[in-house]
Amino acid sequence: MAETYFTKEHEWVKIKEGIASVGITEYAAHQLGDVTFVELPQVGKTVKQFQVLCAIESVKAASDIYSPVSGTVTKVNEALEDRPEIVNEAAEDAGWMAWIEMSDPSEVKALMDRAAYDEYLRGLE
């Protein structure tokens, strides 16, 4: 069973056996509106926790996506290149953006679990 965590910047991360799958939350996808482009990271790129992983665009906005964990990108969701709308349709599932091989599993301490994230969202309203 994968563990799921969230960031304040509205990324989610699902961790299973040291591999972190990363995307943006449904809340973030809704805020952005229709996603028109996902600038995927390069496989092999190393990222640090909370630093820019990749970028996403909608009609009227452009946002950076920050990596919830440190590590190396091992795989990207190429389906998003042709169909960025998957992010709107299934942000927290088929809309994943990258897999990261984690370099420091203890970093999850700096993330929120589902309950904490839901509470955080309520605070934003």
Q: Contact positions toward other proteins, by CB under 8 A?
A: 33-34, 36-37, 57-62, 84-85
- Of the pair 63, 74, the CB lying nearest other proteins is at 63
Rounded Cα distance between 28 and 9, Å, is 8
> Alpha-carbon torsion 115, 119, 124, 125, what sign?
positive
- Of the pair 18, 33, the CB lying nearest other proteins is at 33
CB 33, min distance to other proteins, A: 8
Q: What is the CA radius of gyration of the chain?
A: 13
Closest CA to 75 of 21, 5, 4: 21
CB 115, min distance to other proteins, A: 29
CB 6, min distance to other proteins, A: 25
CB 25, min distance to other proteins, A: 20
CA dihedral 91, 12, 96, 62 (to 10 degrees): 70
- Of the pair 59, 124, the CB lying nearest other proteins is at 59
